[in-house]
Structure 1
Amino acid sequence: MKILLVNSLYPPEIMGGAEVSVSLLAEALALRGHQVSVICLHKAAETSISEIRGVRVYRLQIDNDYWPFDQDRKPSRLRRLKWHLRDTWNREAAKRFGAVLDAEAPDVLHTNNLTGFSVSLWSEAKRRKLRVVHTLRDYSLICKRSTLFRNGQTCARRCPACATMTAPSLIASRMVDAVVSNSQFVLDQHQKLGYFANIPGKVIFNIADVSEAAPVSPPATGDLVFGFIGRIEAEKGIEVVLKAAELLPDAGWRLKIAGKGLEQYVGGLKAGQKNDRIEWLGFTKAANFYASIDVCLVSSVWPEPLPRTLIESINAGRATICSTAGGIPEISGFSNMVGSYEPNNFRQLAELMVKAVNDTTRWKMAQPLQSDFADKFSPDSVTRQYMEVYSAGNSKAP
């Protein structure tokens, strides 16, 4: 089968888990004999075509006012508004995309994050009578910030501006033949607003090849080592973690923070705390990080769809303490050593961390995986489920 995937970014350009998940899926499909190509965006003004692990990758220029990814400083509010308005239905991006569609002539179009492209791409596919499958990996179709998170809080309801600017996405969602989500939570958030009405929906977890992996050995005896890994930003709950750390005892623990964020923001966080038990690692390879900690903190305060760090930490045999935001509870239950708390409740998080410190031996123990854990995230399982969706036919559910 000829499969064309679309995502805003593609490795080596990585901003989050979506790029990793899409690349793993593309490579797994190619490895199983399918002809796979990917369309993504890049900063350059010309189209580039390359081959990465059996996948043909088209990198197109962005047809908008500025490059929105991986910025050290936010553009002005007016400039951001202009950008988002164009991103509601980007005709130039659709035209550029259509040329690649004609060149590739795929059997199925599989779209993922569309920020920078807009949902106008779906209309190009339907004009060519292609089957369209869309995977929800964030909230960009219902929230222009893509997070359902504003001013430090999860949005209880959509603001009028988001409802207005995402109206084209709501209408365009009728063009999709099947919708997939990496968590039930995210799928529910879209469907309750009328998106993808009467269109078959399915939850398929992301690939995390854990089939041959074994839990890594825990760190040497001593202090209980907590760990946070991910982008350093408020949405990920780093401020909650630091507030909780202020309430911990003076001994018996350490905290390692791995990841990068806006320089000014991270600098402010470091300046605001002087505890020498907290170590800022910067960018760190995931395997090395998990091998150096005992308990992974998954502290998102925004309704994160499905954090890859949680899957990785469970696979590494690490105990976890997780917020209940978004799709996190759908995965945290697979951990054999887990504590859960309400998002933003740093006092509740601190209580769980203190309990862990007081029972260090048990929380340091590498946890065996549940027998069916690897299967749920294996390339074989995930590609099989996607092939079923790709091949289901073009008729929509009644």
Structure 2
Amino acid sequence: MHVTILCEKLTVTGGGSNVSLDALARALSARGHSVHVITIDEEQNELPANRSYSVVEYSVDRSTHAVNWIRAVARIMDRHDDCDLFHVFTPILLPAAGVYRKNGDTPVVGRLNSYALFCTNQSEMGAECYRRCSSYKKFAHDDGSIGRKLLKTPVYVGRTNLVPRLVARVDKLFAQSPAVKDVYSTVGFDVETTVVPNFYDPEFAAPAPSSSDDERSEPDFDRQVFNVLSVGRLERYKGVRTLLDAAAKLDVPMQVHVVGDGPDRANLESRVASLGLADRVAFHGWVAHSELPQYYRSADILVHAATWPEPFGRAVLESLQCGTPAIVSDVGGPPWVIGDAGLTFEPGNSDDLCAKLTSAYANPGSISALRDRTEKRIERFEPDRVLEHLLGEYRSLT
């Protein structure tokens, strides 16, 4: 099968979506399928080495009018529609796919791994916000200036009324989790949708060759304390502040390790200072993806404290793969991903998180039980299992 994957960018230093795209393209290629990736923002690309798939790079000007941008992407699809199927990997490209599909013959499937199709500010998106995502709410939540927001009023109206109609032309959507499927259905996207999650990368948690041990730096974790890990981009809606507030209330010997970087880092570091946690919180910054397994394995537990309905939570999947249980906020995809190999707490509630961490520390047997369940839970995301489901969906359309 000839599959063309359409995305905004592909960068090895990007977030989980980039990791998932590369993993999918390599896995399909390894199974004998012809895979081509088209990116539309060439300047942001930092392409993976030793690729088994081809990449075609375009630069589509995002500063132009939204209608012109959508038409430009649709023309790119028209130029490359000699494939068996388009897999749109970036949700914001789905309206363009809808424009293409009006006259184009090649089936199109789309991946739902974010809420960018309708949400103007994910940091304002709480567990229930999407249920009333009107044009006014889009205007109110956008963090731009009043003047700029007034100019964008047609965009807010278009996202509410036009975008769902364009996306409805796509043949099928793949939600990353049941939570994502529910959100898009509630907002008003009337497209056949099935849950196709990320699969784990078998090489991610594989033991490193002994010859390279001296090149790998072990995380500086104190084995005499309870080590709590947070992994992800430092954005406000990721909820790291909730974790810090919970840590300030904990009366146990512990260390919080924050892995990742982003625009909220300075605020979080200030928060650590104001809470008097300088000796209990370590910021490790950005860590190469290949080095992350050591952090997961060195931690007693992962905390994923997002305050918004995170579509999936790749850090939770990686933690499972490394045999480390997690405590996740009870919203979005992470509770489904972790299943019975973790615990949940109320989003944004540092008291509840503090109670769960205190219980975990006081009951090492319960942590051991959760750790034992990770092996069974990770089977749900086994590559062959997910890929067979995905290929079955492909075949149903070609």
TM-score tier (shorter): 0.7 to 0.9
Q: TM-score, normalised to structure 1's length?
A: 0.81
CA contact (8 A) 2:225 2:254 kept: yes
Match of 1:205 in 2: 197
Taking a change above 3 Å as real, the CA distance of residues 95 and 13 of structure 1, as seen in their structure-2 partners, is farther
Offset from partner CA, 1:77-132 (integer Å, 9 cap, x none): xxxxxx8xx44x3x3453355346424611101112244x5622332244221101
* 3-state SS of 1:143 partner: coil
Please give the residue correspondences for 1:154-169 in structure 2 after superposition, counting only pairs within 5 Å.
155=129, 157-161=132-136, 162=138, 164-166=157-159, 167-169=161-163
TM-score (norm 2): 0.81
SS in 2 for 1:142: coil
Tell me, which stretches of 5 or more residues in structure 1 are unaligned? 66-82
Q: How does 1:1-398 map to 2 (within 5 A)?
A: 1-14=1-14, 16-42=15-41, 44=43, 52-65=50-63, 86-87=65-66, 89=67, 91-92=68-69, 94-95=71-72, 98-99=75-76, 101-103=78-80, 105-115=82-92, 117=93, 119-145=95-121, 147=122, 149-150=123-124, 155=129, 157-161=132-136, 162=138, 164-166=157-159, 167-195=161-189, 197=190, 199-210=191-202, 221-249=223-251, 251-262=252-263, 264-275=266-277, 276-284=279-287, 285-335=291-341, 338-360=342-364, 363=367, 367-369=371-373, 372-393=376-397
Paired residues of 1:209 and 1:374 also in contact (CA < 8 A): no
8 Å Cα contact 1:211/1:374 also seen in 2 = no
Percent of counterpart pairs with the same letter?
Answer: 23
Of Structure 1 and Structure 2, which has the larger fraction of its residues in helix?
2
Q: CA deviation at 1:257?
A: 0.9
1:323 CA displacement: 0.8
Contact 2:23–2:201, Cα closer than 8 Å, also in 1: no
Report the RMSD for the aligned CA atoms in angstroms.
3.2
Question: Which structure ranks higher in relative contact order (CA pairs < 8 Å, sequence separation ≥ 6)?
Answer: 1
**Aligned-partner SS, 1:29:** helix
Are 1:49 and 1:56, in contact at CA under 8 Å, matched by a contact in 2? Answer: no
Count of aligned pairs: 363
253 and 173 in structure 1: CA distance in 2 versus 1, 3 angstrom threshold: same
State the Cα deviation string for residues 309-336 of structure 1 (Å, max 9, x = none).
111112211121111011122122141x
Structure 1 residues 38 and 122 mapped into 2: Cα distance closer, same or farther (>3 Å)? farther
> Deviation per CA, 1:15-39, whole angstroms, max 9, x where unpaired?
x222211221111111111111112
DSSP 3-state at the match of 1:382? helix
Which whole-Å CA distance do the structure 2 matches of 1:55 and 1:333 have between them?
A: 34
Cα deviation, residue 212, structure 1: 9.6
User: Partners in 2 of 1:151 and 1:184 — Cα distance?
Assistant: 18
Distance change >3 Å, CA 222–CA 176, structure 1 → 2? same
AA aligned opposite 1:20: V
* Shift in alpha-carbon separation, 1:118–1:367, aligned structure 2, 3 A: closer
Alpha-carbon distance change, 92 to 255 in structure 1, aligned in 2, over 3 angstroms = closer
Q: Deviations over 1:64-83 (max 9, x none)?
A: 22xxxxxxxxxxxxxxxxx8
Give the letter for the 2:178 counterpart: Q
SS where residue 129 of structure 1 aligns? coil
Please tell me whether the aligned partners of residues 252 and 357 of structure 1 are also in contact (alpha carbons under 8 angstroms). Answer: no
- Matching residue of 1:72: none
Deviates further, 51-60 or 218-227: 218-227
Q: CA deviation at 1:270?
A: 4.5
Alpha-carbon contact 1:210-1:377 (below 8 Å) kept: no
